[in-house]
Amino acid sequence: MEWQKYNGENIRMPITQAVEEIISRETHLGNKLKVYIGTDSQVKRGIIDFATVIVFLREHKGGFMFIHKDKRQRRMSIKERMLLEVQKSIEIAYHLCPLLDQYHVDLEVHADINTNPNFQSNVALKEAMGYIMGMGFQFKAKPDSFASTNCANKMVQ
């Protein structure tokens, strides 16, 4: 799985190693981190672009993110696509969880799913919330899911 920084620079090491280096550096600088993971997708001419982000926020000092992009050339319902976004976020959260626990870094998983039933993505809200919380992660949906709704969304636009 290839990851990159926001500036487009490729991360040439396993993501767990890159995250551990970030945590070590930021801790050494006296910064308290919180990590947010989210995925968004966009359908363009029958191709679904996905972006998963790991957002690092420094308490009162801004943040930065790592990005992974991929594509699917398959039709899927809105519910299936929303749940695939959640699955992608959970996979990376599950992969990073031991490391984040080791360094006592809080984690939230964000879903680009609207809590308002008038929006199409709401069809996946209950399943997504159950999936994320069932895995033991903190869950946020729109309008509180900035990692997926803003950060990942910017990467697929």
Output the six-digit token pair for 72. Answer: 């699917």
- Between the alpha carbon of residue 100 and those of residues 28, 56, 111, 116, 128, the distances in Å are 16, 12, 20, 32, 22
pTM (global) more than 0.85:
yes
Q: If you average pLDDT over residues 108-132, what whole number do you get?
A: 92
Q: pLDDT digits over 70-114, tens only?
A: 999 988 999 999 999 999 999 999 999 999 999 999 999 999 999
The residue among 55, 82, 80, 78 whose CA lies nearest residue 68 is 55
Binned at pLDDT 50, 70 and 90, residue 20 comes out as very high
Q: pLDDT digits over 22-56, tens only?
A: 999 999 999 999 999 999 999 998 899 999 999 99
* pLDDT value, residue 110: 97
Q: Which SS3 state, helix, strand or coil, does residue 1 take?
A: coil
The residue among 142, 72, 126, 133 whose CA lies nearest residue 108 is 133
* pLDDT value, residue 74: 84
